[in-house]
Amino acid sequence: MASAIKIWSFPGGVHPPERKTLANQTATATTELPEKVYVPVKQHIGAEGQLLVQPGDTVLRGQALTQPGMSGGLPVHAPSSGTVINIAEHTSNHPSGIPTLTITIKLDGKHESIEFTAVENPLEQSPQELIKYIREAGIAGLGGAAYPTAQKLSQTQNTELLIINGVECEPYIVSDDRLMREHAEEIVSGITILQSALQAQQTIVAIEDNKPEAIQAMRQAIESASIEAAVAVVPTKYPSGGEKQLIQLLTGKEVPSNGYPSDMGILMQNVGTAYAIHEAIYLGKPLMERIVTLTGEALQKPGTVWALLGTPVSHLLDSASLQASSKQKVIIGGPMMGYTISDLEVPVVKSTNCILCPTESELPATGHEMACIRCGQCEQVCPASLLPQQLYWYAKASDHDALKQHHLKDCIECGACAYVCPSEIPLVHYYRKAKAEIREELIEQQKADIARQRFEARQARLEREKQARLEKHKKAAEARQAALAARAAAAEADPTEQSTADTAANNGEKQSKVAAAIARAKAKNAAQAESATAEDDKKARVAEAVARAKAKKAAQAESATAEDDKKARVAEAVARAKAKKAAQAESATPEDDKAKQSSQQSDNAEAEKKRRVAAAVARAKAKKAEQQKQQNSVTTSERGDSESS
Amino acid sequence: MSFFIASSPHNHVRRNTQWVMQQVLLAMVPGVLAQVWIFGWGVLIQLAFAIVTAIVAESLFLAFRDKPIKPALRDNTAILTAALLAVSIPPLAPWWVIFIGVIFSIVVVKQVFGGVGQNIFNPAMAGYVLLLVSFPVQMTQWMPPAHLATFNLSFIDSLWLFFTQYTTDGFSVMQVTMVQLGQGIDAVSMATPLDHIRNQLSQGYTLSESLNSPIFGGLAGLGWQEVNMAYFLGGAYLVARRVITWHIPVALLGTLLVASGLGTTFAIDQLPGVNIHLLSGATMLGAFFIATDPVSAATSNKGKVIYAALIGVLVYVIRTWGGYPDAMAFAVLLANLCVPTIDYFSKPRPYGNVKAKESAE
* Average of per-residue pLDDT across A372-385: 90
* Nearest by CB: A368 against B71, B300, B351: B71
Closest-CA distance, B361 to chain A, in angstroms, reads 11
User: Under a CB-based contact definition with an 8 Å cutoff, are residues B353 and A258 in contact?
Assistant: no
Taking an 8 Å cut-off on Cβ atoms, the answer to whether A338 and B8 are in contact is yes
The rounded mean pLDDT for chain A is: 84
B208 in the same domain as B184:
no
Pairing of the two strands A303-308 and A354-356: unpaired
B211 in the same domain as B185:
no
Q: Which residue on chain B is closest to A96 by alpha carbon?
A: B5
Q: Which amino acid is at A369?
A: E
B81 in the same domain as B58:
yes
| Reported ipTM | 0.83
Q: Which residue on chain B is closest to A260 by alpha carbon?
A: B352
Count Cα neighbours of A86 within 13 Å in the Cβ-side half-sphere.
12
Q: How many residues does chain B have?
A: 361
The rounded mean pLDDT for chain B is: 85
Q: What is the pLDDT at residue A560?
A: 53
B104 in the same domain as B49:
yes
On the 0-12 / 13-18 / 19+ scale of CB atoms within 10 A, B98 is buried
Q: What is the pLDDT at residue A54?
A: 92
A420 at interface of B, judged by CB pairs closer than 8 A: yes
Does the CA dihedral B179-B180-B184-B190 come out positive or negative?
Answer: negative
* Average of per-residue pLDDT across A152-162: 85
Residue A599 has pLDDT above 80, yes or no: no
| Count of beta carbons in the 10 Å neighbourhood of residue B307 | 28
Please tell me the distance from the alpha carbon of residue A299 to that of residue A331, in angstroms, as a whole number.
12
Please tell me the distance from the alpha carbon of residue A426 to that of residue A368, in angstroms, as a whole number.
10
User: Which of B1, B2, B7 to mutate to probe the A interface, most A CBs <10 Å?
Assistant: B7
Taking an 8 Å cut-off on Cβ atoms, the answer to whether B4 and A331 are in contact is no
Q: What is the pLDDT at residue A36?
A: 93
Taking an 8 Å cut-off on Cβ atoms, the answer to whether A380 and B301 are in contact is yes
Q: What is the pLDDT at residue B68?
A: 87
Taking an 8 Å cut-off on Cβ atoms, the answer to whether A370 and B347 are in contact is no
Q: What is the pLDDT at residue B196?
A: 79
Q: Which residues of B touch A342 (CB under 8 A)?
A: 2-3, 5
| Count of beta carbons in the 10 Å neighbourhood of residue A384 | 27
B145 in the same domain as B266:
no
B295 at interface of A, judged by CB pairs closer than 8 A: yes
B50 in the same domain as B92:
yes
* Nearest by CB: B351 against A254, A341, A406: A254
B202 in the same domain as B180:
no
Return the SS3 of B38.
Answer: helix
Residues 15-34 in A contacting B (C-alpha not used; CB under 8 Å): 16-17
User: Under a CB-based contact definition with an 8 Å cutoff, are residues A437 and A391 in contact?
Assistant: no
Q: Supply angle C-alpha A136, A139, A145, rounded to 5.
A: 145
Please tell me the distance from the alpha carbon of residue A269 to that of residue B295, in angstroms, as a whole number.
43
B113 in the same domain as B19:
yes
B181 in the same domain as B101:
yes
* Domain of residue B329, residue span: 192-345
Closest-CA distance, A31 to chain B, in angstroms, reads 23
Residue A596 has pLDDT above 80, yes or no: no
B65 at interface of A, judged by CB pairs closer than 8 A: no
Please tell me the distance from the alpha carbon of residue A347 to that of residue A91, in angstroms, as a whole number.
8
Closest-CA distance, B5 to chain A, in angstroms, reads 5
Higher pLDDT, B156 or A14: A14
Q: Which residue on chain A is closest to B75 by alpha carbon?
A: A370
Please tell me the distance from the alpha carbon of residue A96 to that of residue A110, in angstroms, as a whole number.
35
B302 in the same domain as B238:
yes
Count Cα neighbours of B211 within 13 Å in the Cβ-side half-sphere.
15
CA A253 to each of CA A157, A265, A268, B201: distance values in angstroms, whole numbers, following the listed order: 19, 12, 14, 57
Return the SS3 of B184.
Answer: coil
Q: Which residues of B touch A13 (CB under 8 A)?
A: none
The verdict on residue B351 lying in a domain is no
Closest-CA distance, A70 to chain B, in angstroms, reads 32
Q: Which residues of B touch A335 (CB under 8 A)?
A: 8-11
Does the CA dihedral B182-B186-B189-B190 come out positive or negative?
Answer: positive
Residue A89 has pLDDT above 90, yes or no: yes
SS3 for A191-210, per residue?
Answer: HHHHHHHHCCCEEEEEEECC
Higher pLDDT, A158 or A534: A158
B337 in the same domain as B231:
yes
B198 in the same domain as B331:
yes
What are the CB-based long-range contacts (under 8 Å, 24+) for B108-112?
A: B110/B58, B110/B77, B110/B78, B110/B81, B111/B58, B111/B61, B111/B62, B111/B65
| Count of beta carbons in the 10 Å neighbourhood of residue A417 | 30
Q: Which residue on chain B is closest to A414 by alpha carbon?
A: B9
Q: Which residues of B touch A10 (CB under 8 A)?
A: 351
Taking an 8 Å cut-off on Cβ atoms, the answer to whether A328 and B6 are in contact is no
How many separate domains does chain B show? 2
Q: What is the pLDDT at residue A194?
A: 93
Q: What is the pLDDT at residue B188?
A: 40
Q: Which residues of A touch B348 (CB under 8 A)?
A: 11, 379, 385-387
pTM for the whole thing?
0.75
B340 at interface of A, judged by CB pairs closer than 8 A: no
Q: Looking at the domain covering A20-356, what would its CATH class be? A: alpha beta
Q: Which residues of B touch A324 (CB under 8 A)?
A: 1, 3
* Average of per-residue pLDDT across A53-64: 93
* Nearest by CB: B352 against A257, A366, A376: A257
DSSP labels, A579-628:
HHHHHHHT---HHHHHHHHHHT-TTSTTHHHHHHHHHHHHHHHHHHHHHH
Q: What is the pLDDT at residue B236?
A: 96
Q: Where in chain A is the domain with CATH 3.40.50.11540?
A: 20-356
Residue B357 has pLDDT above 70, yes or no: no
Residues 352-381 in A contacting B (C-alpha not used; CB under 8 Å): 356, 358, 363-368, 370-376, 379-380
